[in-house]
Amino acid sequence: MPAAWAAAVGVAAGAAWLWRHQAEVATSRPFNEWTFTHTAALLPTETVPRAVRPRLLPHEPRGLEEFTYDYAGARRTLADLHKRTFTTGFAVVHRGALVHECYPGRFASPQARFQLFSVTKSVTSMLVGIALEEGAIASVDETAVSYRPELAGTAYDGPTIEHLLHMSSGAGFVEDYTDPDGAIARFERAVMGGGSILDVLRAVPTVAKPGTVFNYSTMDSQVLGWVLESATGMSLARYAAERLWGPIGAERDAYYFLTRGRPRTALGGGSFNAAIRDIARLGLLMARGGAVDGRQIVPEAWVERGRGAGLAHLEAGALGPEVPEWYGYANQWWTLGGEHRAFTGLGIHGQFLWVDPEADVVVVKTSAWSTAEDLEREAETVAALTALVSHLDAGR
C-alpha cells in the first residue's frame, strides 16, 4: 500500500473514531475547559438575547480571598477550592450585590458563556412555573402525553407534569455516564451524532408507579421541555428570552445548543449556556421569591416548591444509594434542608447554582471536572459553599 494511501486510511480511521467518541473527548480534561465555554463552536444553537436594558448588579467586593473553610482535616481558602475542584468561573452575590467574582479557567471571563449541563433543568422549572401562571399549562396534574401525543405507548404515556418535575415519572434507567451502552450514552450519541432522541426515549422502560420513586433522569426533563414548547407554541430559547432573560435584565446573550439531527431541538435537561453574572441573576431571582425590582417573574409559590416537596421519597437521604445523602429533590432543584431550606441547581462536571434565600446569598460555580461525577470534589464544594454562606450570613 502506498504511503500516501496508508496515511489517508489512517486519517479516516482516526476521524471515524473521533466522531464516535466526540462526547468523551470533549468532556475530558484538559479539552473540557475549552469546550465548556465554546459549545457554540461545536453544535447548532438558538440564541436567548440579552435584555434591552440590562439590570445593574452592584459590585461590592468583600475580600473573600481571606475566607477559609475546613475539609478533610485541613483549613483551605477559595483559591484552594478552585485549584482542587477545577473551578472555571465563580461568583458570589450577597444582599443583591456581587461581592466576589473570579475566573480561574483558562478560557473563562465575564463575557464567556458556560455550559451549565443539568442546571438547565432548574431553568426549565422556572419556565414551567411561568407557563402555569400564564395559563399556557393548565395544571401540573395534566399528563405529558396530552401535550406530546408522540409519547403514546411509551413509559411517558401516563406520568404527569408533576411527576416529571420531581423526577418521579416511573420511567427508569440508571443515569450512568461510565456505561457506553447505557441510555444516557445513547442519548448523548443521538444528540451529537444526528440520531433521534425520541427513539432513545421510546426504549426507556417503566420501572415504578409514577409518583412513588425518585429516579434521576435527563429524559424526564427532556419531556418537560417538549411539553413546555407545545404548551407555549415557542421554542425554549424564545420563551426563555421573553419571559425570563429579558425580565431579569441579563447583560449577555445566552443560548441553547440544539441536536444535530432534524428536527433540531434544545435539551430541557442540559443545553443552556450563559455568562456567570447572568446565572447569578437567575439565582438572585429565586432568592428573592421570584421577583425583581417589585415585578413578579416566577410565581412566589413556585419558588417555594423548589425548596422542598414534603414527600418522603424526595427527602435528603431518601433518594437512593447513587445520590449523596445531603441532597433531597423537588421541582427540578436539589434541596439542602436545614433551617434555611436552601437549594441548588447542579450539572455534571461540577456546575452549581447555590441559592440560600434566608441568608440572601447566591453562589455560582462552573467547573471542568475530569469525569461527569466526582463525589470527593462535590463533597468539598458542598462543604466550602455551606461554610461560605454561614460566613456571609454571620456578617463577618
CATH number of the domain that residue 170 is part of: 3.40.710.10
The pTM for the full model equals: 0.93
- Asked whether residue 19 is assigned to any structural domain, the reply reads no
Residue with cell 401516563: 158
- Asked whether residue 269 is assigned to any structural domain, the reply reads yes
Helix (H) or strand (E) holding 381: helix 375-393
> What is the predicted pLDDT for the residue at 5?
54
Q: What is the C-alpha to C-alpha distance for residues 301 and 288, in angstroms, rounded to an integer?
A: 12
Task: Give, in order, the Cα–Cα distances in Å from 282 to each of 119, 262, 320, 346, 364.
Answer: 11, 30, 29, 14, 10
Long-range contacts of 180-184 (CB under 8 A, 24+ apart): 183/219, 184/218
Q: What is the C-alpha to C-alpha distance for residues 194 and 199, in angstroms, rounded to an integer?
A: 12
- Asked whether residue 382 is assigned to any structural domain, the reply reads yes
Backbone dihedral region of 36: left (phi > 0), alpha (psi from -120 to 50 degrees) or beta? Answer: alpha
> What is the predicted pLDDT for the residue at 245?
98
Helix (H) or strand (E) holding 9: helix 3-20
- Asked whether residue 339 is assigned to any structural domain, the reply reads yes
> What is the predicted pLDDT for the residue at 11?
34
Ordered mean pLDDT values, 10 residues apiece, the chain (396 residues): 48 37 73 96 97 96 95 98 98 98 97 98 98 98 97 97 98 83 90 93 94 95 98 98 98 98 95 98 98 97 97 95 96 96 98 98 97 96 98 88
Determine the Cα angle at 219 with ends 218 and 225, to 5°.
Answer: 95
- SS3 category, 231: helix
Virtual torsion, Cα 214, 215, 219, 223, nearest 10 deg: -20
Strands (E), the chain: 45-48, 68-71, 74-77, 87-94, 97-102, 114-115, 254-257, 272-274, 291-292, 295-296, 328-330, 333-337, 342-347, 351-356, 361-367
Number of domains in the chain: 1
Q: What is the C-alpha to C-alpha distance for residues 36 and 248, in angstroms, rounded to an integer?
A: 24
- Asked whether residue 14 is assigned to any structural domain, the reply reads no
Q: What is the C-alpha to C-alpha distance for residues 100 and 186, in angstroms, rounded to an integer?
A: 39
> Three cell numbers at 345?
441547581
Full domain range(s) for residue 296: 34-393
- Asked whether residue 5 is assigned to any structural domain, the reply reads no
